[in-house]
Amino acid sequence: MSTEFEESVTPDFRLDVQGLRAIAVGLVILYHFNLLGFNGGYVGVDVFFVISGFVIAGVLLRDTAKHGRPSLLQFYARRARRIIPASTTVLVTTVVASYLLFGRYATAAVANDARAAALFVANYHFAWEGTNYFASQQAPSALLHFWSLAVEEQFYFVIPALVLLVATVSRNFRRHLALVVTVIVVASLVWSYLSTNNDPITAYYSILTRAWELGVGILVALAVRRLSTLRASVAATATWLGVGLILAAAWGFSGTTVYPGLAAVVPVAGAALVILGGAARPRMGASSVLSTRSFVYVGDLSYSLYLWHFPVIALAAQRQSTPLSLATRLVCLVIAVVLSLVSFYVVERPFRSARLLRKRSSAALGVGAVGISLSLLVATVALPSAGGSATTVAGHPALAQLEQQVESATAATSLPSSTFPALSLNLDATTFSIPSMIANCSPPSAGYVVPACAYGDTSSNKTVVLYGNSQAQMWAPALDWLGKRDHFKVVPIMKAACGVFIDRGYVGPNGQVGTLCLHFAQWSTQKINALQPALVIIATTPGEQLKPGASASQLGPNGRLPASSTEQIGVQRMTKDYQKFLAGLHLAKKSVVMLSNIPIPAHPSNALAYPNECLLEHPHAIQQCSSPQSGVDTSEWHQALVAATAATSTALIDVDPLLCSKGMCPTIVDRILVHFDTDHLSGPYTLYAAFAFGQLLAGYLPSADYSAAL
């Protein structure tokens, strides 16, 4: 991935550093292709960050030593000729491949990602989209890996100017530069620790939480010359210890590791030790192995390998929509290697070594500008998705009106001219529920205490608690609107992926067997009883358990257990857990209601495909994507809900009238996409159906008048 290569004629060129790139890219590829059990192979990116900081610092330090200050023009000209031609080739090819594989409607998502990647803001683009639990079930963007390139480029926009400033104002250049960079490293590491606990999605992608890793590379570059005379035994030990730390992180970390935070210190320290120890060129050190021809060659290819490997595996995953077999993944690996070789010899190396581009900075910058423009042009020309806009859907029909619209939707045959949200292969996560609630009102992945949040009329002394997991989160837009309308406060007590989980041994929200969801249910029961709310609305799944012989440690690339490893727990166990949870609520009977489960959208060829994918594949036969209402009413989940609520005299609110008519449950109603994915409704639809939802809850909600819709 690292985009910088020292010139082979430079005396400071380090073969072992080039070999270290091979380890880094190898770990990343093994992780993304789910091979050999390297569940923490993503730490290869952290190794790349250290290498990039080291190499870039070396370039700037040599320029400063030779000319008194670095030349920003030459610096960015080098970056342009080495980075942009290859990345442009990948971006353009990926957009075109997406168009050929998935059609005109689905191309918009990857085209939007390509625009962000071309402008070096992919990291914040993906952070703003929110790679959360709900989106993680989908195949990732084929250009997701460009987030790390964006981090490096953003760093490159800052560090040359910083070096120039220090060189201009300081007589003791190296010491003062080391001091400034040390401050950046410490501040960034502290921020990484704090942000990872509070906002893990943004922390993973942000330059602010990753700058310290590149900064460590700069400090290594400043210190490395003094270590060239280090005792051979000490230097060799440092290199092997460094490799050991990197491999330990790659083998021991997983998708559930709180990252980057302090955990990233392990691979970063490992990379720093390899580079520092290798400065003395110890014969028995790891640097001798890394300097061999095979490691160096893979290191030379590392940028092309990093660019190409992920689009290949991601597009294959999107095409199949089910876990890829080992044979398929190996074929994809071969394809990625072939593409990388062609790209390296036809694009990357010719542009990097072209005499004209090396001699004339303006020409290199021109090539960069053309490459960026070409990526943006292809991404823009790629046809948009099936209409839609960012405006809020107008109107909140009454239940009778909504039922008529649902009935009409069951007779529709083709997609409307526009949809809300706009159809794309990967729906924006912001179209699920209330984004601020998802971000701020749920416990962190390793916690179970819910932050204090309130929606609806937050000044009201009448409280409605919305309890559950993502099944409750999806109803939040409707309840927030009703709270503002009818003047009651809505308190969300929710944790994604946690079912009722009264007993131990269920699969937790991070794909592991544990007691976290049990603690959440226990804490929630106490909290709800203390609030004494006017109403508790419960919407939650019963949970899953491991299949016999399945391993709780064999997580997929998204950090979660694959569906093939889990199974539902059966009607009797579901009923028991629901009853046990309801019995723990010491409230009046009319103060608690449970919502029925929603229909699971169908797909004629792939039961795991999302409804938006089905609609994109069948734009003129959309009823193929509808689901039969009978599938909801006869499910084990529904049977358990009916049994548990009957046994505890708790009201069960059937939400089918909002979603189904004449035995069918459509996926588009009045141009609104009903489902966000196979398990959840979209935020726009629950908001649209808010008044009708309130009518279903009439007699339970406080101060509600449903004589007319607004």
| Distance in angstroms (rounded) separating the CA atoms of residues 133 and 35 | 23
Q: What are 195's two structure tokens?
A: 């942000």
- Of 120, 118, 74, 87, the residue nearest 362 (C-alpha): 74
Residues listed for the chain: 710
pLDDT at residue 579 tops 50: yes
Q: Is 512 helix (H, G, I), strand (E, B) or coil?
A: coil
Kindly state the percentage of the chain with pLDDT values over 90.
Answer: 56
Position 137 confidence tier, pLDDT thresholds 50, 70, 90:
very low
Check residues 240 and 6 and name the one with the higher pLDDT.
240
Residue 646 located in a structural domain: no
Residue 492 located in a structural domain: yes
| Distance in angstroms (rounded) separating the CA atoms of residues 338 and 305 | 9
- Of 521, 647, 493, 652, the residue nearest 584 (C-alpha): 521
HEC secondary structure over 546-601: ECCCCCCCCCCCCCCCCHHHEEECCHHHHHHHHHHHHHCCCCCHHHEEEECCCCCC
pLDDT at residue 427 tops 80: no
Average pLDDT over every residue of 283-301: 94
Give buried/exposed letters for 318-353 (b at 16+ CB in 10 A, else e). beebeebeeeebeebbeebbebbeebbeebbbebbe
For residue 563, what pLDDT is reported? Answer: 64
> pLDDT (tens digit, 9 = 90+) per residue, 227-270?
878 899 999 999 999 999 999 999 999 877 888 999 999 999 99
Residue 75 located in a structural domain: yes
Residue 178 located in a structural domain: yes
Residue 645 located in a structural domain: no
> pLDDT (tens digit, 9 = 90+) per residue, 80-100?
999 999 999 999 999 999 888
Kindly state the percentage of the chain with pLDDT values over 70.
Answer: 86
Shared domain check, 625 and 564? no
> pLDDT (tens digit, 9 = 90+) per residue, 453-480?
999 999 999 999 999 999 999 999 999 9
Shared domain check, 389 and 298? no
Residue 640 located in a structural domain: no
Q: What are 405's two structure tokens?
A: 């619209």
> pLDDT (tens digit, 9 = 90+) per residue, 531-566?
999 999 999 987 666 666 666 555 554 445 566 666
Q: Is 504 exposed, middle or buried (0-12, 13-18, 19+ CB in 10 A)?
A: exposed
Dihedral-angle region of residue 497 (phi above 0 means left; psi in -120 to 50 means alpha; beta otherwise): left
| Distance in angstroms (rounded) separating the CA atoms of residues 12 and 66 | 14
Chain Cα centroid distance, residue 410:
34
| Residue 276, beta-bridge partner list | none
For residue 423, what pLDDT is reported? Answer: 80
Count of CB atoms within 10 A of residue 623's CB? 17
Shared domain check, 603 and 593? no
Position 133 confidence tier, pLDDT thresholds 50, 70, 90:
very low
> pLDDT (tens digit, 9 = 90+) per residue, 201-237?
888 999 999 999 999 999 999 998 888 788 999 999 9
For 507, which DSSP code?
A: B
Shared domain check, 392 and 363? no
Looking at the structure of the chain, the number of domains it has is: 3
Give buried/exposed letters for 69-100 (b at 16+ CB in 10 A, else e). bbbeebbbbbbbbbbbbbbbbbbbbbbebbbe
Give yes or no for a contact between 540 and 497, defined as CB atoms under 8 angstroms apart. Answer: no
Q: Is 446 helix (H, G, I), strand (E, B) or coil?
A: coil
Residue reference for tokens 């939007």: 112
Position 5 confidence tier, pLDDT thresholds 50, 70, 90:
very low
The Cβ-side half-sphere exposure at 219, using a 13 Å CA radius, reads 20
Shared domain check, 343 and 263? yes
> pLDDT (tens digit, 9 = 90+) per residue, 639-669?
989 999 999 999 999 999 999 999 999 999 9
For residue 504, what pLDDT is reported? Answer: 46
Shared domain check, 463 and 400? no
| Distance in angstroms (rounded) separating the CA atoms of residues 240 and 23 | 13
Q: Is 306 exposed, middle or buried (0-12, 13-18, 19+ CB in 10 A)?
A: buried
Shared domain check, 422 and 437? no
Position 153 confidence tier, pLDDT thresholds 50, 70, 90:
very high
Average pLDDT over every residue of 170-184: 91
Position 8 confidence tier, pLDDT thresholds 50, 70, 90:
very low
Residue reference for tokens 């159906």: 689
β pairing state of 592-595 and 535-539:
parallel
β pairing state of 566-568 and 544-546:
antiparallel
Shared domain check, 447 and 401? no
Quickly list DSSP for 397-432: --HHHHHHHHHHHTT--S--S--BSPP-SS--GGGS
Position 169 confidence tier, pLDDT thresholds 50, 70, 90:
confident
Residue 307 located in a structural domain: yes
Q: In what order do the strands lie in the sheet with 463-468?
A: 455-456, 489-494, 463-468, 535-539, 592-595, 651-653
For residue 708, what pLDDT is reported? Answer: 52
> pLDDT (tens digit, 9 = 90+) per residue, 40-60?
999 999 999 999 999 999 999
Best-predicted range by mean pLDDT (338-342, 612-616, 679-683): 338-342
| Residue 455, beta-bridge partner list | 490
pLDDT at residue 706 tops 80: no
Give yes or no for a contact between 470 and 686, defined as CB atoms under 8 angstroms apart. Answer: no
For residue 331, what pLDDT is reported? Answer: 96
Angle at 239 between CA 235 and CA 243, to 5 degrees: 170
β pairing state of 489-494 and 455-456:
antiparallel
β pairing state of 627-628 and 544-546:
unpaired
Chain Cα centroid distance, residue 595:
29
Residue 494 located in a structural domain: yes
Shared domain check, 490 and 574? yes
Mean pLDDT score of the chain, rounded to an integer?
86
71's enclosing H/E stretch is none
Q: Is 584 exposed, middle or buried (0-12, 13-18, 19+ CB in 10 A)?
A: middle
Q: Which of the residue ranges 349-353, 502-506, 574-578, 603-607 would you say has the lowest mean pLDDT? A: 502-506
> pLDDT (tens digit, 9 = 90+) per residue, 583-620?
999 998 789 999 999 988 776 666 656 788 888 888 88
Shared domain check, 268 and 134? yes
pLDDT at residue 275 tops 50: yes
Angle at 390 between CA 477 and CA 695, to 5 degrees: 30
Shared domain check, 184 and 76? yes
Range of the domain at 106: 15-381
pLDDT at residue 181 tops 90: yes
Angle of helix 265-278 versus helix 15-32 axis, rounded to 10: 150
The Cβ-side half-sphere exposure at 170, using a 13 Å CA radius, reads 17
CA distances from 353 to 6, 9, 341, 348 (A): 11, 12, 16, 9
Average pLDDT over every residue of 486-508: 76
Q: Which of the residue ranges 408-412, 440-444, 654-658 would you say has the lowest mean pLDDT? A: 440-444
Average pLDDT over every residue of 320-336: 88
Chain Cα centroid distance, residue 496:
15
| Distance in angstroms (rounded) separating the CA atoms of residues 610 and 509 | 21
For residue 570, what pLDDT is reported? Answer: 78
pLDDT at residue 132 tops 60: no
Check residues 365 and 65 and name the one with the higher pLDDT.
365
SS3 content of the chain, % helix, strand, coil (to 5): 60, 5, 35
Best-predicted range by mean pLDDT (33-42, 294-303, 321-330): 294-303
| Distance in angstroms (rounded) separating the CA atoms of residues 159 and 534 | 57
> pLDDT (tens digit, 9 = 90+) per residue, 369-408?
999 999 999 988 875 555 444 445 567 899 999 999 999 9
Shared domain check, 138 and 205? yes
